[in-house]
Structure 1
Amino acid sequence: MSKTSKKKEPVILVTNDDGINAPGIRALVEAVKGLGKVVVVAPDKPQSGMGHAITIGQLLRLQKSNAFEGVEAYSCSGTPVDCVKIAVDKILHRKPDICVSGINHGANHSINVIYSGTMSAALEASIESIPSIGFSLLDLSIDADFSAAGKYASIIVQKLLSSKTLDKHLCLNVNIPAVEEKLIKGIKICRQAYAKYEEEFDERKDPHGKKYYWLTGEFVNFDKGKDTDVWALKNNYVSVVPVQFDLTNYKLKQQLETKWKF
């Protein structure tokens, strides 16, 4: 009689851009720690808006952390992308089965995906053939309620882990509306809306009379489609947008190949 081999539990790498002590990453750890072996590697300080930055020419430090009871965790002096890279090479010594990033304090819908450290960490995992998900809650406050976000994070991670034909470069951008759980209507698979910030630099003076500038702006949605992340969130749906690191505009490539002769 052959012995039935025990199924290995998946390794789940958790990171973020708000820092290892942010409430959002604590909510994400709680959401996934029953789904596999969880290892946390996150920045030692807030790294919002860092995009896909990596640390070059400066040292990186890793520090064991006791931030999460019963969960192996480390803080890293670098960026969110650094955290993913160093986790694979120096902590896990292998690729995790999935990488989850967040839960971010604030929206990462539409154009925000370009600037987001949360999503850049997820995309870095995707580049390394690690299926990944970035989670964001549309609430910037430090005392935001992450209960609904954690519930939907768990649902989506379970769905990913149970998928049989999984694209190893899968990367999902998930945003959760900042409303009570009972008001969330469900989950919608969306496309990224064409929306952006209309920005300006507010010119001010410091106490010494020297000029400095403060970036301000207003988020403007130019996309009237009802299949976008902005529409879904406005209508109290959790938005799920599949994203990719290949930035090639294939339609334009085809046009240029036809019209441009060299």
Structure 2
Amino acid sequence: MKILLSNDDGYQAPGLQALYEALKTEADVEVVAPEHNNSAKSNALTLHSPLYVHDAHNGFRYVNGTPADCVHVALTGLLGYRPDLVVSGINNGANMGDDTIYSGTVGAAMEGYLFGVPAIAFSQVERGWSEIASAARKAADIVRRFAQQASADAPPWLLNVNIPNRPYDALLPVKVCRLGRRHAAERVITQANPHGDTMYWIGGAGPAKDGAEGTDFHATAQGHVSLTPLKVDLTDHDNLRYWAQAAARLQDAR
């Protein structure tokens, strides 16, 4: 099996190194990751400046761009082959609920999915890298379990996985969950720079708004590893008829 591995914390992040060490015995693993931290870059691609690929001392390759850039460049020419699986992570902190819209970790995995390659995004629930070796071991278990479903003939799939910061033997079984929801983010933080200009810093993520049983928030709070299958179609299918009627009324009013 051939795996393309990326992340959003940068090619020197402990989560990426731990995941590589756990996966390299399972497959041929090629790392193409951002040069710097690119958290919350979602699916952004760099279109108005050149991208460069460099070789790191540890054998990884890094790109002066976003997580999606890394996977895009790798799949459209850098690798010279099609990997069986795209894996992203392990992220330094949770990507649950609304986080998945902003997440560069999910964005890297989604870029693989958009190219027709099965993909998994891995995150740890708490920041700080505690129990990262256990999280990497659990991630390798999940890759091993689902790799057989990553055949060339099968449709691609996209999984979002969050792993509690616990010792391996203390992790409860994987639970398949829906995404929860967060409250709106905290207030923007303002500071004055040395010249007296006001600087704005995006506030922290809000607490869970919907953390009911069945959500990723609930599962990880209980000690389970959460697994959520994602899709890219943002169409509001439930309300297509309503909007068609609204558009028809608009047309009749002209």
Structure 2 portions without partners, runs of 5+: none
2:143 maps to which of 145, 157, 162: 157
1:20 maps onto 2:11 in alignment:
yes
Structure 1 contact 41–75 (Cα < 8 Å) conserved: yes
1:47 maps onto 2:49 in alignment:
no
Match of 1:138 in 2: 125
CA distance in 2 between counterparts of 1:109 and 1:136 reads: 9
Instruction: Map residues 168-183 of structure 1 onto 2, 5 A cutoff.
Output: 168-183=155-170
Q: Measured at CA, do residues 197 and 152 of structure 1 come closer, stay the same or move farther in structure 2, by a change above 3 Å?
A: farther
SS state at 2:240 partner: helix
1:38 maps to which of 15, 19, 29: 29
CA distance in 2 between counterparts of 1:12 and 1:158 reads: 12
1:257 maps onto 2:244 in alignment:
yes
CA distance in 2 between counterparts of 1:189 and 1:46 reads: 29
Structure 2 contact 95–103 (Cα < 8 Å) conserved: yes
SS state at 1:136 partner: strand
TM-score computed with the length of structure 1 as normaliser = 0.88
1:127 maps to which of 96, 114, 118: 114
Deviation string 1:191-246 (CA, Å, 9 cap, x unpaired) is 00122443211222223322222222352222252100000011111000001111
Deviation string 1:133-185 (CA, Å, 9 cap, x unpaired) is 000012322x5321221121111111111237775330000001122333321
CA distance in 2 between counterparts of 1:130 and 1:50 reads: 21
Over the matched positions of the two proteins, sequence identity in percent amounts to 33
SS state at 1:216 partner: coil
Bigger helix fraction: 2
Equivalenced residues, count:
248
Runs of 4+ off more than 4 Å: 164-167
CA distance in 1 between counterparts of 2:9 and 2:201 reads: 21
| 1:98 alignment partner AA | L
